[in-house]
Structure 1
Amino acid sequence: MPQQTRSDIRNVAIVAHVDHGKTTLVDKMLWQTGAFSERQTVETTGERVMDSGDLEREKGITILAKNTAISYDGPSADGTPVTINIIDTPGHADFGGEVERGLSMVDGVVLLVDASEGPLPQTRFVLRKALAARMPVILCINKVDRPDSRIEEVEEETYELFMDLLDDAQGHADQLDFPVVYASAKAGVASTDRPGDGQLPEGNDLEPLFRTILQTIPAPTYDEGAPLQAHVTNLDSSNFLGRLALLRVHQGEIAKGQQVTWCKADGSQQKVKITELLMTRGLEREPADQAGPGDIIAVAGIPEITIGETLADPDNPIPLPLITVDEPAISMTIGTNTSPLAGKVRGAKVTARLVKDRLDRELIGNVSLRVLPTDRPDAWEVQGRGELALAILVEQMRREGYELTVGKPQVVTREIDGKVHEPVEALTIDTPEEYLGAITQILAARKGRMEQMTNHGTGWIRMEFKVPSRGLIGFRTEFLTETRGTGIAHHVFDGYEPWFGPITTRLTGSLVADRTGAVTAYAMVNLQERGTLFVEPATEVYEGMIVGENSRADDMDVNITKEKKLTNVRASSADNFEKVIPPRKLSLEQSLEFCREDECVEVTPEDVRIRKVILDQTERARALARSRR
Structure 2
Amino acid sequence: MTNQTTTREDLRNVAIVAHVDHGKTTLVNAMLTQTGAFGDHKDVGDRVMDSGELEKEKGITILAKNTTVFYSGPASNGEEVTINVIDTPGHADFGGEVERGLSMVDGVVLLVDSSEGPLPQTRFVLRKALEAKKPVILVVNKVDRPNARIDGVVSDSMDLLLGLAEDVSEDVPDLDLDAVLNVPVVYASGKAGVASTEQPADGELPESQDLEPLFATIMEHIPAPTYTAGEVLQAHVTNLDYSSFLGRLALLRVRNGTLNRNQTVAWSSENGIKNVKITELLETKGLERVPAESARPGEIVAVAGIEEIMIGDTLTDPNDPKPLPQITIDEPSISMTVGINTSPLAGKVKGAKVTARQVKDRLERELIGNVSLKVLPTDRPDTWQVQGRGELALAILVEQMRREGFELTIGKPQVVTKEIDGVL
Deviation at 1:415, TM superposition (A): 3.8
Distance 1:263 1:168 in 2: 35
Task: Find the counterpart in structure 1 of residue 202 from structure 2.
Answer: 197
Give 2:16's match in structure 1, choosing from 11, 14, 17. Answer: 14
Query: Does the 8 A contact of 2:20 with 2:59 survive in 1?
Result: no
Distance 1:250 1:165 in 2: 29
Query: Does the 8 A contact of 1:15 with 1:126 survive in 2?
Result: yes
**Structure 1: where are the runs of 5+ without partners?**
421-629
Deviation at 1:299, TM superposition (A): 0.8
Q: Which residue type is aligned with residue 162 of structure 1?
A: L
Deviation at 1:223, TM superposition (A): 0.6
Give 1:284's match in structure 2, choosing from 283, 288, 305. Answer: 288
Q: Secondary structure at the match of 1:129?
A: helix
Matched, 1:51 2:50: yes
Deviation at 1:21, TM superposition (A): 1.2
Distance 2:47 2:353 in 1: 33
Task: Find the counterpart in structure 2 of residue 357 from structure 1.
Answer: 361
Query: Does the 8 A contact of 1:243 with 1:301 survive in 2?
Result: yes
Task: Find the counterpart in structure 1 of residue 392 from structure 2.
Answer: 388
Task: Find the counterpart in structure 2 of residue 397 from structure 1.
Answer: 401
Deviation at 1:346, TM superposition (A): 2.8
Task: Find the counterpart in structure 2 of residue 300 from structure 1.
Answer: 304
Task: Find the counterpart in structure 2 of residue 337 from structure 1.
Answer: 341
Q: Which residue type is aligned with residue 4 of structure 1?
A: T
Q: Which residue type is aligned with residue 163 of structure 1?
A: L
Give 2:259's match in structure 1, choosing from 254, 257, 266. Answer: 254
Matched, 1:75 2:64: no
Identity %: 70
Q: Which residue type is aligned with residue 397 of structure 1?
A: M
Query: Does the 8 A contact of 2:38 with 2:44 survive in 1?
Result: no
Deviation at 1:321, TM superposition (A): 1.5
Task: Find the counterpart in structure 2 of residue 27 from structure 1.
Answer: 29
Per chain length, whose mean CA-contact separation is higher, i.e. which structure has more relative contact order (CA < 8 Å, sep 6+)? 2
Deviation at 1:25, TM superposition (A): 0.8
Distance 1:339 1:239 in 2: 34
Query: Does the 8 A contact of 2:91 with 2:122 survive in 1?
Result: no
Q: Secondary structure at the match of 2:16?
A: strand
Deviation at 1:213, TM superposition (A): 0.3
Post-superposition Cα deviations, 1:538-593, rounded to whole Å, max 9, x if no partner, equal: xxxxxxxxxxxxxxxxxxxxxxxxxxxxxxxxxxxxxxxxxxxxxxxxxxxxxxxx
Query: Does the 8 A contact of 1:232 with 1:310 survive in 2?
Result: yes
Query: Does the 8 A contact of 2:91 with 2:124 survive in 1?
Result: no
Post-superposition Cα deviations, 1:482-511, rounded to whole Å, max 9, x if no partner, equal: xxxxxxxxxxxxxxxxxxxxxxxxxxxxxx
Distance 2:306 2:103 in 1: 21
Q: Which residue type is aligned with residue 396 of structure 1?
A: Q
Q: Which residue type is aligned with residue 22 of structure 1?
A: K
Post-superposition Cα deviations, 1:365-406, rounded to whole Å, max 9, x if no partner, equal: 101101112121221110111212111111211222222111
Query: Does the 8 A contact of 2:91 with 2:125 survive in 1?
Result: no
Q: Secondary structure at the match of 2:116?
A: coil
Distance 1:325 1:174 in 2: 29
Give 1:242's match in structure 2, choosing from 243, 247, 253. Answer: 247
Task: Find the counterpart in structure 2 of residue 86 from structure 1.
Answer: 85
Structure 2 counterparts to residues 92-131 of structure 1, below 5 A? 92-131=91-130
Task: Find the counterpart in structure 1 of residue 152 from structure 2.
Answer: 153
Distance 1:31 1:412 in 2: 45
Deviation at 1:343, TM superposition (A): 2.5
Q: Secondary structure at the match of 1:45?
A: coil
Distance 2:118 2:205 in 1: 21
Task: Find the counterpart in structure 1 of residue 277 from structure 2.
Answer: 273
Post-superposition Cα deviations, 1:215-241, rounded to whole Å, max 9, x if no partner, equal: 001111011111111111111222221
Task: Find the counterpart in structure 2 of residue 609 from structure 1.
Answer: none
Distance 2:156 2:271 in 1: 45
Structure 2 counterparts to residues 224-623 of structure 1, below 5 A? 224-264=229-269, 266-415=270-419, 420=424
Structure 2 counterparts to residues 123-142 of structure 1, below 5 A? 123-142=122-141
Deviation at 1:172, TM superposition (A): 2.4
Deviation at 1:167, TM superposition (A): 2.6
Query: Does the 8 A contact of 2:339 with 2:356 survive in 1?
Result: yes
Aligned length: 416
Task: Find the counterpart in structure 2 of residue 516 from structure 1.
Answer: none
Tell me the TM-score normalised to structure 2 length.
Answer: 0.95
Task: Find the counterpart in structure 1 of residue 219 from structure 2.
Answer: 214
Query: Does the 8 A contact of 1:279 with 1:285 survive in 2?
Result: yes
Task: Find the counterpart in structure 2 of residue 37 from structure 1.
Answer: 39
Deviation at 1:419, TM superposition (A): 5.1
Q: Which residue type is aligned with residue 35 of structure 2?
A: T
Deviation at 1:277, TM superposition (A): 0.8
Task: Find the counterpart in structure 2 of residue 186 from structure 1.
Answer: 191
Query: Does the 8 A contact of 2:249 with 2:304 survive in 1?
Result: yes
Query: Does the 8 A contact of 2:236 with 2:255 survive in 1?
Result: yes
Query: Does the 8 A contact of 1:131 with 1:175 survive in 2?
Result: no
Distance 1:418 1:303 in 2: 40
Distance 1:92 1:133 in 2: 18
Distance 1:263 1:364 in 2: 17
Q: Secondary structure at the match of 1:161?
A: helix
Deviation at 1:414, TM superposition (A): 2.9
Distance 2:423 2:272 in 1: 38
Q: Secondary structure at the match of 1:111?
A: strand
Distance 2:134 2:350 in 1: 52
Q: Secondary structure at the match of 1:414?
A: coil
**Structure 2: where are the runs of 5+ without partners?**
none
Query: Does the 8 A contact of 1:19 with 1:91 survive in 2?
Result: no
Q: Secondary structure at the match of 1:339?
A: coil
Post-superposition Cα deviations, 1:125-174, rounded to whole Å, max 9, x if no partner, equal: 11111111111111111111111111111111111111111132233213
Two-structure CA RMSD over aligned residues (Å): 1.3
Tell me the TM-score normalised to structure 1 length.
Answer: 0.65
Alpha carbons of structure 1 residues 417 and 272: separation in structure 2 relative to 1, 3 Å: closer
Task: Find the counterpart in structure 1 of residue 7 from structure 2.
Answer: 5
Distance 2:57 2:406 in 1: 20
Distance 1:76 1:172 in 2: 25
Distance 1:64 1:324 in 2: 17
